[in-house]
Amino acid sequence: MSNRNLVNIMHLDIAPDWKKKLNTELQKPYFQELQKFVENEYQQNECFPKPENIFQAFELSAFKDTKVVIIGQDPYHGYGQAHGLCFSVQPEVKTPPSLVNIFKEMGDDLGKPMPATGNLTHWAKQGVLMLNATLTVRAGQAGSHQKKGWEKFTESVIELLSKEREGLVFLLWGGPAKKKVSKIDTSKHLVLTSGHPSPLAAIRGHWFGNKHFSKTNEYLVSKGREPIDW
């Protein structure tokens, strides 16, 4: 993948309003350095997601249409899993344990059956911005692209949404996501926090019973917006 291709992904494959909103951020020195790092990583190593899916979250959920923000950590680092939406996997891939727990809580909260696949594209298309803190990862190496600039970029996205939009729901699951609350104006938006849905955290009792899905929809309806069909 060339530097030019990464730029083209950002400028061609995201919603037009995101393109306009993020243009200044993309010109900053830190992002230029991040771009060089990602280019080199994709040339030298197997990395995920595929280049054309790095900014998938911004393609599927336009700035003006975003109603809910879910913040993950890294993309999945197993082959064929990540496709640019946090917690989501490709339709043919086995549902990962964290996502199984998300579906279990969703079922307990809303009475919905376990979905047939772990693909969450239908959430994104309804205005759920599914944003990992780090948008790329080296195959088999969790955290390998952390602290290279992605976190600064994604935090700027959160701040932008917080500042320019009103009445959004931010779902912060797990310690790293909870730290993002400092970037959110809680007087304008609903912030829901819980433990991470990973098996270990869920066993410790910090995930199940949070009822984030029904609470999100109740808030959206109270603001005159369509609820999410989870």
Q: Which residues are catalytic?
A: 74
Task: Tell me the two tokens of residue 28.
Answer: 């900053």
Three-class secondary structure assignment of the chain: CCHHHHHHHHHHCCCHHHHHHHHHHHCCHHHHHHHHHHHHHHHHCCEECCHHHCCHHHHHCCCCCCCEEEEECCCCCCCCCCCCCCCCCCCCCCCCHHHHHHHHHHHHHHCCCCCCCCCCHHHHCCCEEEEECCCCEECCECCCCCCCCHHHHHHHHHHHHHHHCCCCEEEEECHHHHHHHHHCCCCCCEEEEECCCCHHHHHCCCCCCCCHHHHHHHHHHHCCCCCCCC
Torsion 141-115-57-211 (CA) sign:
negative
